[in-house]
Amino acid sequence: MFNLGFPELIALGGLALLVIGPKQLPEVAKAVARVLNEVKNATKDITGTIANVKSEATSTVDTLLHDITDSVTNIDSNEEDELLAKNVIEEANENQPTPQNQDDDNQLSLLSQEDLEDDRS
């Protein structure tokens, strides 16, 4: 936690023995151990809470991403269906003679008949 090696711990123990004294050192050591244990437990609780929140957020984002992907796929397929329907309608309209084209055909046939009559005369 603090990157203390064995020599540093011995030095801290000797310093604590001089400052606190031999009678109170065991009580202070127990109190420090309790505080460190509580800090460690609080850190675990906070880490666990953060992990749970992260997991829930990831799950929610994945669900939303899946829903959005499905929606976009449905929109794309609807657009494809709509384009296909438009193409079929356009092809059907192109294959049907329009009234204007029928008039042109009638005029051509009339001209052909007139040419034939002129040629005969």
Does 96 reside within a domain? yes
pLDDT in tens, the chain (121 residues): 567 788 888 898 889 888 988 899 899 889 989 999 999 999 999 999 999 999 999 999 888 888 888 877 776 666 777 777 777 777 766 666 555 555 555 554 554 445 545 554 5
| Amino acid 82: pLDDT | 73
Does 1 reside within a domain? no
The domain tally of the chain equals 1
Does 73 reside within a domain? yes
| Amino acid 44: pLDDT | 95
User: Checking phi first, is residue 98 left (phi over 0); if not, alpha (psi -120 to 50) or beta?
Assistant: beta
Q: Which residue carries 């711990």 as its tokens?
A: 9
Q: Which residue carries 């309608």 as its tokens?
A: 89
- Residue 63 to residue 36: CA distance in whole angstroms: 40
Q: What is the pTM of this model?
A: 0.45
| Amino acid 75: pLDDT | 67
| Amino acid 56: pLDDT | 93
The residue range of the domain holding 63 is 6-120
